[in-house]
Amino acid sequence: MTRQISGLSIIVTGGARGIGRATVERFARQGASVAIGDLDPDLAAEVAETFGDRVAAARLDVTDPASWQEFLGEVAHLGPWDVLVNNAGIMPLGAVLKEPDSLTRAIFDVNVHGPINGIKAVTPGMVERGQGQIVNVASAVGRLAVADGATYSASKFAVVGFSEAIRQEFAPLGIDVSLILPTVVQTELAAGVPAAKGMKPVTADDVAKAIESVVRKPRAEVWVPNWVQGPTKLTQALPRKVQDLLAKTNDAATVLTQADPVARAAYEERARRNEKK
């Protein structure tokens, strides 16, 4: 059965920029009530004001359970919640041996603890009503590890594993869990990162469209672009020596090492503000 977007109440984290903003706009245009949670409440408010009373914005630090409770209190008038889209994430890049410990912790705090905190805060209400959906925006590197993004990749592997586990936990409770795995997306987060050979650039709205598709008709896992899933999983089923040989002829495994540090400078600086010294 296909679900209508109009009338749903949806939370989108990291909704002021990039994929999150495109997702908010897509849902709001179709009549959903949307709560935007973001560390930048002013920018989030700019997104919300376009849509009137059906969209609200409030500050949210996804790493802090107390912030989740404050956020939910501020946007409670739009609930109860049908869908939680865990989109907020950071992607600092570089050699793992040069990565400060504080940055390693920040990546896991935002990318892993963030969704877990949100799920713990929002899902109990869904359980009471016997229905709801969680959409976790992970990454293709949550299935296929890439050099110079080791901690980021590990964080997304964690999101994939967590999602697989709670899908089994929550299914008897009437709650669907969906994973979105984009490749390189044309947003600030991926500034300076080239697309792999043969890959058509992916936009924030492409990912938002995939998120919309799993809300309309829940599925366990959707890749963006979708055709990448088959070849990736086929390759991973091959012997390691064959995988290594293929990697030498394909730049997908080294795409993050080719990132332009100058083009990424502004984003990297903003992402590092999540560090807790």
Active site residues: 152
Sheet holding 221-224, edge to edge: 55-59, 33-38, 9-13, 83-86, 132-137, 175-182, 221-224
Write down the residue that tokens 């990318």 correspond to. 111
Give the burial class of 198: count Cβ atoms within 10 A of its Cβ; 0-12 exposed, 13-18 middle, 19 or more buried.
exposed
Distances in whole angstroms, Cα of residue 142 to Cα of each of 170, 192, 223, 236: 21, 20, 11, 13
Write down the residue that tokens 């376009």 correspond to. 50
In whole angstroms, give the CA distance from residue 16 to residue 24: 9
At 263, which amino acid appears? A
**Which residue, among 181, 194, 203, has the nearest Cα to 256 in the 3D structure?**
194
In whole angstroms, give the CA distance from residue 134 to residue 119: 8
Give the burial class of 111: count Cβ atoms within 10 A of its Cβ; 0-12 exposed, 13-18 middle, 19 or more buried.
buried
- Dihedral angle sign, alpha carbons of residues 118, 20, 193, 40: negative
